[in-house]
Amino acid sequence: MTPQEAYKELTQRTKKIATLSSCSSVLAWEERTYMPRGGAEHRAAQESLIAGLVHEWLVDPRIGELLATLEASPIVKDPDSIEAANVRETRRLYDRETKLPKELVEEFTQTTSLAQGEWADARKKSDFKHFLPWLEKVVKLTQRVAECYGYKDEIYDALLDGYEPGMKTAEVVRVFSALRPELVELNKKIAHSKKKPDSSIVHRAYDKDLQRVFGESVAAAMGFDFNQGRLDVTTHPFCSGFGPGDTRITTRYNPNRLNDALFGIMHEAGHALYEMGIDKEHNFGTPVGEASSLSLHESQSRMWENQVGRSREFWVYFFPQAQRIFRDALGDVTLDAFYGAINYSEPSYIRVEADEATYNLHIMLRFELERAIIKGDLKPADIPGEWNRRFKEYVGIEVDKDSNGCLQDVHWSAGLFGYFPTYCLGTMYSAQFFAKAKKDMPDLAKQIEQGNLSGLLGWLRKNIHQFGSRYRAADLGKRVTGEVLSHKPLMDYMNKKYGEIYGF
């Protein structure tokens, strides 16, 4: 067999696996949007069956044989080639997956599918004890999975690697340790400032249907193609990319708060633009047809939500439109007052509603807790108490109920331990990428003021989206910006922005 024949067979196999896996993604999307609660057990069985089949196909010894053939061939001579990247990342996935028994994969999938429904019920009731037995099951299964993967330094590394290939927990600790004191100092300056925006502007009555209309118009202006995607409602907003021509986003509407749905839509549309920008027509089913890491994915959503959506330039163009749609709420509001209101910063309970200055403190808390949970240093039953203690220490307010505390996120019910740090890493990448985009396009601010967002999207397509997993996140970040990941661009951006708004 020639290397070319081996590569063709390998990609045929991975595309078949990806197609089956995408069926499971559709089921998961529908479960969180339209499925009646009574269908939970049957849906769990469906997803478990598919997960078992995907695992079975992925660990087929034939894939190992094909990888060995290709790794010894000239086809991987150029490490930056698409072929070499596909072989490298398929090897990584194959080696991880072959360490997992099929029975564990099926049990994990079925348990987390059921646990997500129980989490949703517990969140509505604000009752952690209702969810605790399921969380204990998920934690034990996650620890078993991590032990199967193996690790050199600590067990959390095995889980982090699933979302941020090649990154170690120690590196996360290092970058977070550099960011935390500067975030704390920024928040002190904001808290002590005598100049305060009028936050009540975003807490007026905003009709849900009109929010949807405005949100869809903003997403379309960003470049979201509604012929290849859709917007739906869910409890916890997310984005799902199923394959070529089908990328879906979700949000939730608050009739008395504009920020939630609007910036949620911009956030998820940022994810969707990344999915839509990867060449799935030719590369779907191969690693190069997928995002490099979750931090890179998050860099796109956070950039559109914050550097664009919460910028004054953006609202120079979009505020008059918002005033026409929300006449009663915004008719008497000036642009400057609105800009201050959407960027009002204060400690709050809910991560997805947090402002830029406090958001990453939420992430650091979750990272520390889930690391302790997986290491066995924190028992699931003790999570509420420890969450509330650290939340008071980090964010500065007392948690009043479980739904505003440890029950607010879906991640742990879904077994997504190792996921949370990517939110903060992605936020740092977003500032670094946006700073480079402004340097490459000196008129970018003017473009945004005119409602032209295609220039930025084109830059992202060229420098980030098109590569998929061709490069690891750290390598692509350095390739684009010329620098390693740093908290400095983020803090430069936030200090300047909040300094202007709050007068320090």
User: Which residues pair with residue 231 across a beta bridge?
Assistant: 249
The packing angle between helices 356-375 and 128-149, to 10°, is: 70
Instruction: Give the C-alpha separation, 32 to 395, whole Å.
Output: 30
Distances (CA, A) of 398 to 162, 347, 364, 385, 387: 33, 10, 17, 11, 10
From 31, 97, 268, 275, the catalytic residue: 268
Question: What are 483's two structure tokens?
Answer: 């620098």
240 three-class SS: strand
136 is catalytic: no
Question: What are 475's two structure tokens?
Answer: 């390598």
Q: Where are the alpha helices (DSSP H) in 126-192?
A: 128-149, 155-163, 169-192
Instruction: Give the C-alpha separation, 75 to 4, whole Å.
Output: 8
Q: Which helix (H) or strand (E) holds 97?
A: helix 82-97
Strands 229-233 vs 246-251: parallel, antiparallel or unpaired: parallel
Instruction: Give the C-alpha separation, 304 to 302, whole Å.
Output: 6
Instruction: Give the C-alpha separation, 158 to 132, whole Å.
Output: 24
Q: How many CA atoms lie within 13 A of 133 on its CB side?
A: 3
Instruction: Give the C-alpha separation, 39 to 34, whole Å.
Output: 11
- Are 75 and 4 in contact, with CB atoms under 8 Å apart? yes
Instruction: Give the C-alpha separation, 448 to 464, whole Å.
Output: 20
Q: Sort 393 into a burial class: Cβ within 10 Å, 0-12 / 13-18 / 19+.
A: exposed
Instruction: Give 286-345 as a DSSP string.
Output: SGGGS-S-HHHHHHHHHIIIIIITTSHHHHHHHHHHHHHHTHHHHTT--HHHHHHHHT--
Tell me the catalytic residues: 268
